[in-house]
């Protein structure tokens, strides 16, 4: 049995055995009983239809999947607590290419069937400091560099150790990760150092600095060193977001390059409507584009997911978003215009539309659409989602 799986098995076993172990304690029985009574169990379900019509592929993908999740978090005993989260994904209609089912005659919907231990950890927390060991969720800043890919039915989580410290306006977060639990259910091995520092000057202005040193065992083209900073600010009715980063090859990456990342957004409200305009650059150097392998990529560069991998010529994305809430329905529309960083290529454009409605705190519905019109890269693609959620 591999070391990583063995360690996770020990963590999961300790969680499942916790009530028995606690019951054996007598000296601290009252505190343990309180910890158990403070434990929380959550259950949620997410049923989703995803249809994909992609030029160049004769068949249309039709995926109807159901994610069932149970989450258990114990109360704290002598500053220690335990967490366990298990997901099960079922394909009720499986006319799609999950990237693991071999149905390559269909477009990709990256939601394979399976049962997965999404989280299994031991946590220590005291006086602003916390440490977690095991499988865990890690979401840094806006998830542009490190995220959970929560849109997909099987989430991306991380195996390793993580320490966090918060004192007033300052928060520090460092994790050493040895395995990534991917959205396709596989294990991605390597040595990954994830560091993030946030400082909040006041309610209007905050900054973050980050460093991500990634050394993959096999997917060596993703081995990179990335250093950057992020700013979020408000100036009266106007809000501004900006980010700058530099990336170079690391470890056994066969490429030699240094690429730049730039993001700038400005927005404001016009009555009930918020309007935001932005520019994002994933630069190119020596034929290699800026790479964000751990990001929640679906949030960026369009919901059609045509740029999950940055082209070698780099990517420029100019976008405009309008969103608001009307009669209890949240609506948003975004238009993207894509081009290359070098060589003057037109990559096309994309329209994204979404509407969400919460019936109450337990039930909600989402309808979402993406239309990608290709030019010098990829092919025309339409995607439609209808999603129902229930949580208890």
State the residue for tokens 């932005």: 278
Of 348, 345, 342, the closest CA to residue 370 belongs to 348
- Residue 15's pLDDT is 44
pLDDT digits (tens, 9 = 90+) for 17-70: 444 444 444 444 457 778 778 899 999 999 999 999 999 999 999 999 999 999
CA distances from 321 to 75, 121, 207, 273 (A): 41, 38, 23, 10
- Residue 9's pLDDT is 45
- What residues have CB less than 8 Å from 251, skipping those under 6 apart? 214, 215, 216, 220, 223
- Render the burial of 175-191: b for 16+ CB within 10 Å, e for the rest: bebbbbbbbbbeebbbb
Choose the weakest-confidence range: 17-26, 69-78, 88-97. 17-26
- What residues have CB less than 8 Å from 323, skipping those under 6 apart? 273, 274, 276, 330, 331, 332, 333
pLDDT digits (tens, 9 = 90+) for 187-246: 999 999 999 999 999 999 999 999 999 999 999 999 999 999 999 999 999 999 999 999
- 113 within 8 A of 98, measured Cβ to Cβ: yes
Which pTM was predicted? 0.90
Rounded CA-CA distance 24/27 in Å is 10
Tokens (6 digits) for 382: 């339409």
- How would DSSP label each residue in 66-91? EEEEEEEE---BTTEEEEEEEEEEEE
State the residue for tokens 């040895």: 178
């Amino acid at each position: 049995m591999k070391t990583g799986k063995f360690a996770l098995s020990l963590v999961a076993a300790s969680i499942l055995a916790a009530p028995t172990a606690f019951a054996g304690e007598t000296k601290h029985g009252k505190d343990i009983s309180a910890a158990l009574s403070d434990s929380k169990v959550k259950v949620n379900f997410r049923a989703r239809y995803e249809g994909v019509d992609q030029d160049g592929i004769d068949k249309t993908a039709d995926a109807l999947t159901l994610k069932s999740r149970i989450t258990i978090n114990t109360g704290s005993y002598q500053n220690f607590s335990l967490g366990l989260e298990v997901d099960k994904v079922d394909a009720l209609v499986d006319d799609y290419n999950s990237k693991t089912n071999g149905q390559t005659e269909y477009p990709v919907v990256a939601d394979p069937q399976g049962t997965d231990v999404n989280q299994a950890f031991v946590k220590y927390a005291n006086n602003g400091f916390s440490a977690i060991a095991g499988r865990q969720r890690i979401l840094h800043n806006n998830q542009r560099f490190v995220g959970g890919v929560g849109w997909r039915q099987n989430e991306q989580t991380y195996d390793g150790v993580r320490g966090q410290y918060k004192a007033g306006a300052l928060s520090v977060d460092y994790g050493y990760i040895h395995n990534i639990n991917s959205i396709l259910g596989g294990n991605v091995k390597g040595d990954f150092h994830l560091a993030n520092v946030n400082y909040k000057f006041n309610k209007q202005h905050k900054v973050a600095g980050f460093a991500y040193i990634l050394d993959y065992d096999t997917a060596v083209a993703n081995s990179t060193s990335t250093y950057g900073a992020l700013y979020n600010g408000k100036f009266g009715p106007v809000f501004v977001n900006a980010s700058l980063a530099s990336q170079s090859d690391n470890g056994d990456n066969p490429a030699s390059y240094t690429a730049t990342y730039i993001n700038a957004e400005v927005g404001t409200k016009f009555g009930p409507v918020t309007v935001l305009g932005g520019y994002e650059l994933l630069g190119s150097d020596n034929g290699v584009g800026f790479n964000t392998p751990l990001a929640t990529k679906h949030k960026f560069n369009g919901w059609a997911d045509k740029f999950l991998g940055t082209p070698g010529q780099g990517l420029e994305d100019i976008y405009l978003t309008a969103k608001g809430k009307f009669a209890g329905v949240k609506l948003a529309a975004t238009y993207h215009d894509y081009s290359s960083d070098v060589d003057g290529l037109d990559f096309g454009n994309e329209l994204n539309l979404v509407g969400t409605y919460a019936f109450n705190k337990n039930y909600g519905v989402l309808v979402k659409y993406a239309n990608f019109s290709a030019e010098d890269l990829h092919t025309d693609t339409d995607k439609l989602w209808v999603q129902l959620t229930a949580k208890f």
